[in-house]
């Protein structure tokens, strides 16, 4: 986010993707027409078709960006771990990169429906990306249910923080926010000391 705007040469293809990402975040994929994208680029709608075969291919390219990000972030860990300690370590390691790619992830989350339809076509080798690995651990019966809930809670905490930083806390520096989130995740994943709080009430 320290974007020096002296990017040496940004390809037209990348400019299209950047603008599309912004519009997809704000309006959603379906409500964003190619005309809008073209207008912001300063040229006509038909020109986009020189760089992409279809509107869907733009979405796919953005998905590849996330996939690539996930691949980089996960390559240090062979598999998504099944213990709370290792999970804490994993998230702690990737949270900075997650914040750096905030808008990409936000876009992906806000257009989950649109992406879902495309996943049907390409679940061939997509099972080595981050999301799929997470899914596998979350649904693994060998992992205690309590632990899985904690892992999901930690991910939900990060996602909540991302949304917060995007919509309401645009002025708060990412590092400060990331540290607070790290702290919260610690409370979720690191077992409490012997001291027990009052036993939880059973609902109903």
Tell me which residue of 47, 72, 159, 148 sits closest to 110, measured CA to CA: 159
Is 50 a binding residue for DNA by CB under 7 A? The answer is yes
Choices 46-54, 73-81, 84-92, 173-181; region in contact with DNA by CB under 7 A = 46-54
The entry of DNA, a copy of itself, none near residue 175 (CB within 5 to 8 angstroms by kind) is a copy of itself
What 8-state DSSP symbol labels residue 144? -
Is 55 a binding residue for DNA by CB under 7 A? The answer is yes
The entry of DNA, a copy of itself, none near residue 127 (CB within 5 to 8 angstroms by kind) is none
The entry of a copy of itself, DNA, none near residue 51 (CB within 5 to 8 angstroms by kind) is DNA
DSSP 111-138: THHHHHHHHTT--SSGGGSHHHHHHHHH
Q: How far is the CB of 81 from a copy of itself (least distance, A)?
A: 17
Choices 48-56, 74-82, 118-126, 139-147; region in contact with a copy of itself by CB under 8 A = 139-147
How far, CA to CA in Å, does 182 sit from each of 40, 85, 130, 134, 174? 37, 13, 19, 19, 12
Q: Which residues contact 66 (CB under 8 A, 6 or more apart)?
A: 101, 104, 105, 108
Near a copy of itself by CB under 8 A: residue from 12, 30, 72, 121: 30
Q: How far is the CB of 136 from a copy of itself (least distance, A)?
A: 10
Q: Which residues contact 84 (CB under 8 A, 6 or more apart)?
A: 147, 150, 151, 189, 190, 191
Binding site for DNA (CB under 7 A): 12, 31-35, 38, 42-47, 49-51, 53-56
């Amino acid at each position: 986010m320290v974007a020096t705007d002296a990017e040496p040469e940004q390809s037209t293809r990348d400019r299209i993707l950047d603008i599309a990402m912004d519009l997809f975040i704000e309006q959603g994929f379906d409500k964003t027409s190619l005309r809008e994208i073209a207008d912001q680029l300063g040229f006509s709608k038909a020109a986009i078709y020189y760089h992409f075969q279809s509107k869907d291919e733009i979405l796919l390219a953005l998905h590849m960006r996330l996939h690539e990000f996930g691949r980089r972030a996960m390559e240090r860990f062979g598999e998504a771990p099944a213990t709370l300690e290792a999970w804490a370590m994993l998230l702690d390691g990737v949270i900075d990169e997650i914040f750096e790619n905030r808008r990409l992830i936000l876009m992906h989350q806000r257009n989950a429906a649109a992406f879902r339809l495309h996943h049907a076509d390409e679940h061939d080798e997509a099972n080595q990306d981050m999301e799929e690995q997470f899914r596998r651990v979350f649904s693994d019966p060998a992992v205690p249910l309590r632990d899985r809930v904690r892992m999901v809670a930690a991910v939900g905490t990060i996602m909540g923080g991302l949304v917060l930083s995007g919509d309401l806390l645009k002025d708060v520096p990412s590092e400060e926010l990331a540290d607070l989130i790290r702290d919260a995740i610690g409370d979720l994943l690191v077992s409490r000391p012997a001291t027990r709080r009052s036993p939880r009430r059973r609902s109903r």
